[in-house]
């Protein structure tokens, strides 16, 4: 039995090579970023360590605050883009007698990827942060 359908042969043509016009995201893995966070006089020493960064700018790492001898180490996820905008989502931490609320860090990264600065937001409270690392 012969069908009324005909076979169609596809044709694949190669496209010309194009380069992306967008800038790359800065590399933030490596040496830790160190500085301060908070609002004077309630400031804390801050260390941000980016442990993983994808080529698309997705970040994971640790966020360590040291104040009055107390050290709080929390994990974060976040992102940085080619416009040098940074967002970190610091995880909630439950201690024996208290809870450290989740925190959001919004800021910018220097073009060389060696400093960050911006705003911290936690439970309705806003502060500032500034960190850098040796180049």
Does the N-terminal peptide bond of residue 108 adopt cis geometry, omega within 30 degrees of 0? no
Domain presence at residue 57:
yes
Write 36-42 long-range contacts (CB < 8 A, 24+). 36/129, 36/130, 36/131, 37/65, 37/120, 37/127, 37/128, 37/129, 38/67, 38/120, 38/127, 38/128, 38/129, 39/126, 39/127, 39/128, 42/67
Q: How many residues does the chain have?
A: 135
Classify residue 5: in a domain, yes or no. no
Query: How many domains does one find in the chain?
Result: 1
User: How big is the CA angle at 63 (ends 59 and 66), to the nearest 5 degrees?
Assistant: 165
CA distances from 14 to 10, 18, 19, 70, 117 (A): 13, 12, 15, 61, 45
Residue 18 lies in a domain: no
Neighbours of 112 (CB within 10 A): 9
Going from the C-alpha of 121 to that of each of 7, 8, 50, 107, the distances in angstroms are: 62, 60, 20, 11
Q: In the structure, what pLDDT confidence band is assigned to residue 3 with cuts at 50, 70 and 90?
A: low
pTM, two decimals, is: 0.79
Contact 105, 120 (CB under 8 A): yes
Domain membership of residue 11 (yes or no) is no
What does the pLDDT read at residue 56? Answer: 92
The verdict on residue 9 lying in a domain is no
Inside any domain, residue 127: yes
Report if residue 83 sits inside a domain.
yes
Range of the domain at 39: 33-132
Asked if residue 7 belongs to a domain, the reply is: no
pLDDT digits (tens, 9 = 90+) for 14-57: 544 444 445 688 999 999 999 999 887 788 999 999 999 999 99
- Reported as a pLDDT band with limits 50, 70 and 90, residue 74 is very high
Q: What is the domain-level CATH number for residue 77?
A: 2.40.128.30
């Amino acid at each position: 039995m012969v069908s009324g359908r005909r076979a169609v042969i596809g044709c694949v043509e190669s496209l010309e090579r194009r380069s992306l016009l967008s800038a790359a995201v800065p590399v933030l893995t490596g040496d830790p970023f160190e500085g301060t966070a908070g609002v004077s006089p309630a400031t804390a020493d801050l260390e941000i360590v980016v442990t993983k960064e994808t080529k698309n700018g997705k970040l994971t790492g640790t966020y360590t605050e040291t104040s009055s001898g107390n050290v709080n180490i929390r994990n974060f996820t976040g992102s940085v883009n080619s416009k040098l905008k940074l967002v970190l989502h610091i995880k909630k931490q439950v201690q024996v007698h208290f809870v450290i609320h989740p925190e959001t860090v919004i800021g910018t990264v220097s073009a060389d990827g060696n400093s960050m600065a911006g705003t911290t937001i936690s439970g309705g409270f806003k502060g500032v942060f500034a960190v850098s690392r040796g180049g």
